[in-house]
Structure 1
């Protein structure tokens, strides 16, 4: 039996593929390589270049590879881009996800792990935010993910599709073995941008908004190491295989850092100073969002190992130095 990983050549997806292969799983990856890289995958994984919206292709992969579980990462993820191109985001994130879910049901797949986001909460009334908090996304990105959550729950009730929805907070860092990491050019992730600036790949970086109702006026986020996030996915897959009930779970550490605190950490860990420009707020950015992750720990037995901002930054720096040296 095989695990199908959509978007498996991307930043988070490629970490999942490595973890699955490390565990002896058979893995087939479906990725259109718009933001992913074939070289980020282990040799033991089968890569099929294609689109999650291609019903014939997805159905064929499920049948030919005897897929018994799907881990669905493929999506567009940049909040400001979603504000500028909402229909593109609803097509890629919602319509295409509907196709993957439908193919899973048609193909008899009974286990589905979905990559969702803390953006479904919008600007929460209180932090840390629990899974039962009001859902009020501030961007088409958040809305597109919430729509997929609703479809997946409905399909689960109607067709017995066991699923775990994981709501990511801010994912950062890289594989501790330096096999994969955040490699997308012109990425917008804060730690990635700060690391590139520290290494001279950008002249300067911007802080978007300094007048938020936070201690230093900049946005506060819960940064989770990508390896710990992938551990939660592996735990979710084990949970479903063991007959566990469907669930929606936050993935974060339960404490946050401001944009300025992250930048200062990157400067200190990298041992260099770099210019930072203060800029206006971006549309769609909540002031502060931090996870309550007790449910994931209790239900899945999830035990994070890299809950340390210095470690997250150090791994991100090591990966950026590696791919820069390799010309990637």
Structure 2
């Protein structure tokens, strides 16, 4: 099967591309490299540098390839920035998916996997969070993913495009052999920032709020390894071959506080990792933990890296080998 992976040079996308190639898929990566990295793309995948906001680029892409499925990762992803620059997120994130869907439906693509988010769940009524939880995006970024899921519902109804929206909680870790990993600029995720402190690239780690209603006062989050996410994408892609559209929440089902993550990172790295407690960030919720029962039951998803110590070990391996990320 030939598949298109938009944003396939990015963190999650590159890990999915590698697994797709290893499983025998013919993979075309389409990325503008604004946040992705050329050297993150598997050597056996075809990289096409282009922009989803440019319909001319997409016209050339779809003229050259006939895709059976599309996995869509290309997106601006910073929650805080989305509240400061809402039109950047509304314009770019929505135009990107609308453009690719226009060409997908015109060219008979029947399977579509959306990289969605736990940012759909602001102030959830129940923890852990199942797919039945009411959708209440707490940011413009979350709203764009909500709009993307709604758009896909209409594409299914009108064109028969089967889709799966995968709502990640906190993606983390790296490929165990350390050749690809997490490299964002700027970095906004807890684990890589913590490891940058261990590497001496930052003086300390800021802990935003220590007075939440949690066991140690810091926010609790659900961390899921990037390769387990990759496996979920492929299971979902295959399930769409003879099944209906669907949505899944993806997480480990276990919550770890900020202080717990730091303590495990200290154990893994052998470094002190100083922290500085500061004020809460607007919009941070005390707990976000996924209920992934549905995808485990329906698709047989079985996370392999479900231990925080192992997850951070894989991330540390990457950061030690590539302290400056992908140097291209």
Q: What TM-score, normalized by structure 2, do the two folds share?
A: 0.96
| Aligned twin of 1:204 | 204
**What aligned pairs does 1:1-328 form with structure 2 within 5 A after superposition?**
1-241=1-241, 243-324=242-323, 328=327
Verify the 8 A CA contact 1:197 1:203 in the aligned structure 2. Answer: yes
**Alpha-carbon distance in structure 2 between the residues aligned to 1:38 and 1:27:** 15
Q: Partners of 2:120 and 2:175 in 1: how far apart?
A: 27
Encode CA deviations 1:181-229: one digit per residue, 9 max, x unaligned.
1022331110010011111111112111222222222111100000000
In structure 1, how many angstroms separate the alpha carbons of the residues matched to 2:212 and 2:321? Answer: 36
Shift of residue 55, structure 1, vs aligned partner? 2.1
Distance apart, 1:298 and its partner CA? 1.2
- Partners of 2:176 and 2:317 within 8 A in 1: no
Of the structure 1 ranges 179-188 and 130-139, higher mean CA displacement relative to structure 2 is found in: 179-188
Cα distance, 1:63–1:284 mapped onto 2, change above 3 Å: farther
> Does the residue aligned with 2:280 lie in a helix, a strand or coil?
coil
Deviates more, 1:27-36 or 1:278-287: 278-287
What whole-Å deviation, never above 9, does each CA across 1:12-42 have from its counterpart, x for those lacking one? 0000110111112111111111111000111
Change (3 A) 1:186 1:254: same
| 3-state SS of paired residue (2:196) | helix
Q: Deviations over 1:288-313 (max 9, x none)?
A: 11101010111111111110000000
Distance in 2 (CA, whole Å) between partners of 1:229 and 1:91 is 27
Q: CA separation in 1, counterparts of 2:215 and 2:261?
A: 14
Pairwise CA distance, 1:259 = 0.9
SS of residue in 2 equivalent to 1:67? coil
Q: Secondary structure at the residue paired with 1:114?
A: strand
Shift of 1:166: 0.2
SS at match of 1:63: helix
- Higher mean Cα deviation, 46-55 or 255-264? 46-55
User: Mean Cα displacement is larger for which, 8-17 or 275-284?
Assistant: 275-284
CA RMSD of aligned residues (A): 1.4
Q: Following the alignment from structure 2 to structure 1, what is the Cα–Cα distance between the partners of residues 131 and 247?
A: 7
Moved more, 94-103 or 26-35: 94-103
Label 1:62 to 1:310 Cα distance change in 2 as closer, same or farther (>3 A): same
Count, aligned residues: 327
Q: 3-state DSSP class of the match of 2:181?
A: coil
Alignment gaps of 5+ in structure 1: none
Gaps of 5+ in 2: none
